[in-house]
Amino acid sequence: MSRPPVPYRKLGELFNFKNGRAFKKEELCSEGIPIIRIQNLNNEDGSFNYYAGEYSDDILIKNGDLLFSWSGTVGSSFGPHIWQRGKGLLNQHIFAVSFKTEMDKRYAYYALEKITEEIEQQVNGAVGLVHITKDKLNDFTIPAPSLFEQQRIVGVLDEAFDAIATAKANAEKNLQNARAIFESYLNSVFIQRGEGWVEKKLSEVCAITSTLIDPRKAEFLDLTHVGAGNIESQTGIFVELKTAREEGLISGKFLFDESMVLYSKIRPYLMKVARPNFNGLCSADMYPLTPLPNEITRDYLFYLLLCKRFTDYAIQGSARAGMPKVNREHLFEFKVWLPTLKKQKELSAKIDELYEETHHLESIYQLKLSALEELKKSLLHQAFTGNL
C-alpha cells in the first residue's frame, strides 16, 4: 500500500531562526566565553575571540545546538552545522535554529542541507560569499512527515552517509598516496649523486635572456600572456590563458619561447613552474629561464624547480628577505649535482612516465569522489521528495 502524501510546510512555520550578535572590536577579550564565528564552524580557524560582558541567553550556544550560517562560502561554511565544541556566544551571520513543532534535529539538519543545495543552484554554483535573508529562508518548503517517519528517514540517511564518508576517506587516502609516490620519486632524483655527476650553481646551467617589452606594441598584442594565476601549482598546467590584447596589458612583460621554463617567483611554496609549448609573454613576477646548451635539459630543469629541495631553498630565501618572493640572486645561487645530459634525459623520461601514471590515478580517484558527492545529493533529493 502506498504511503499517504506528506504535507509540505514553509521553514518559517517549522523553525525559529535567531540571529547572533555583532560584537564590537573593543568588546573582544583574551578570556571569557568564546564567540562563535563563521570560520569556527568548519575548523578553518581554531582560534576564538572571547567576550566577558553581559549577554542574552538568545545567543548562548551549547553542544548539540543546530546552527545555520546565512553568510559564507557555498559548499564550505555556508549552511547548517551541529555545534559540538562546547559553550559559546553566537556572532552575527549565523542563525541559532529552534523548532516551533516537534521535529527530529537530524531531520532538520538534513532538510537545511537540502535547502543549502537549492540555494547553491539558484546562485549558479557560486564559489564566493553567498548571503540569504531570514525572510527568504523562511519561504523555502520541506516535507513535514510524522516524527516517526522523520526518524526513519534519518536512519536511512545516516547509514548511507556513513558509508559514503568511509568511501570518500578511502578515495582521498588513495589520492594522497598516489601523489606521495610521485613526490617521493621526484625528490629522490635530486638528492642523489652518482659517478661523474658535477655540482653546479643554477647560474652556470641556465639564464634569463629575455628583456622587458611593452605589451601594447602591435607585434605583441596577440601573444598569449602567462601570469602566476595561469599556472596550476605543482602540475605546470596552464589555465584560462588570454592574449595581451584581451587582458589589456600595459606594464612591462618578458618574452618567452618553447625552449624556456617559466618559474613564478611569487610565493615559492605554491611551486608554479611550467614548460610552455608556445611563444608568448609572461609576467614580470616570473622568471623565463633558458637552459644553457650542454649543461641541463629543459625537462630536467623543470623538475628540479619542482623538487622539495629547491622549494625549501626558495622558501628560506624569501623568508630571510621578508618578502613572499624569490630574488634573482638567491635563485641562481642554488647548487645542484648534475649527471650527463644523457642521464638527465633518462631521468626526466622516467619522471614524465610516473607523472602520467599518477595523473591517471588521480583522475580516477577524483571521479570517484565526485560520484560519491553526487550520490549524497541524490539521496538528499530522494529523502525530501518522498522517494526514500
Q: Are residues 150 and 140 in the same domain?
A: no
Nearest CA-CA partner of 281 in 233, 249, 236, 234: 249
Judged by phi (left if over 0) then psi (alpha if -120 to 50, else beta), residue 335 lies in: beta
For each of the chain's 388 residues, which pLDDT tens digit applies? 456 678 899 999 999 999 888 888 888 888 889 888 888 887 655 688 898 888 888 889 999 999 998 887 765 678 899 998 889 899 888 899 999 999 999 999 999 999 988 887 776 544 556 778 889 999 999 999 999 999 999 999 999 999 999 999 999 999 889 889 999 999 999 988 888 899 999 999 999 999 899 999 999 999 999 999 999 999 999 999 999 999 999 999 999 999 999 999 999 999 999 999 999 999 999 999 999 999 999 999 999 999 999 999 999 888 766 668 889 999 999 999 999 999 999 999 999 999 999 989 988 998 998 999 899 989 998 988 877 7
- The domain in which residue 376 lies consists of 146-191+343-388
Displacement of CA 225 from its chain's centroid (Å):
24
Structural domain includes residue 2: no
Structural domain includes residue 3: no
Query: Which CATH number fits the domain that encloses residue 214?
Result: 3.90.220.20
Q: Are residues 51 and 124 in the same domain?
A: yes
Q: Are residues 22 and 123 in the same domain?
A: yes
Structural domain includes residue 52: yes
Q: Are residues 261 and 325 in the same domain?
A: yes
Q: Are residues 216 and 324 in the same domain?
A: yes
Q: Are residues 158 and 269 in the same domain?
A: no
Of the chain, the end-to-end C-alpha distance in Å amounts to: 15
Q: Are residues 182 and 56 in the same domain?
A: no
Helix (H) or strand (E) segment spanning residue 273: strand 273-274
Contact present, 131 and 86 (Cβ < 8 Å):
no
For residues 296 and 342, what is the distance between their CA atoms, to the nearest angstrom? 10
Structural domain includes residue 1: no
Q: What residues contact residue 181 under an 8 Å CB cut-off, 6+ apart?
A: 354, 358
Q: Are residues 298 and 173 in the same domain?
A: no
pLDDT score at 209: 92
Q: Are residues 58 and 30 in the same domain?
A: yes
Measured between alpha carbons, how far is residue 148 from residues 45, 102, 141, 154, 252 in Å? 38, 11, 20, 10, 69
Q: Are residues 318 and 280 in the same domain?
A: yes
Q: Are residues 333 and 360 in the same domain?
A: no
In DSSP notation, 296-363 reads --HHHHHHHHHSHHHHHHHHHHHHHHTSSB--HHHHHH-EEEE--HHHHHHHHHHHHHHHHHHHHHHH
Reading the block at residue 52, the C-alpha cell is: 566577558
Structural domain includes residue 45: yes
Query: Which CATH number fits the domain that encloses residue 365?
Result: 1.10.287
pLDDT score at 44: 55
Q: What residues contact residue 183 under an 8 Å CB cut-off, 6+ apart?
A: 308
Structural domain includes residue 322: yes
Amino acid sitting at position 254: F
pLDDT score at 286: 93
Sheet strands (E) in 75-149: 79-82, 88-90, 94-99, 129-131, 141-143
Query: Into how many domains does the chain fold?
Result: 3
b/e sequence 90-111, b meaning 16+ C-beta within 10 Å: bbebbbbbeeeeebbebbbbbb
Reading the block at residue 260, the C-alpha cell is: 624556456
- Is-above-0.95 flag for pTM? no
pLDDT score at 322: 66
Q: Are residues 140 and 150 in the same domain?
A: no
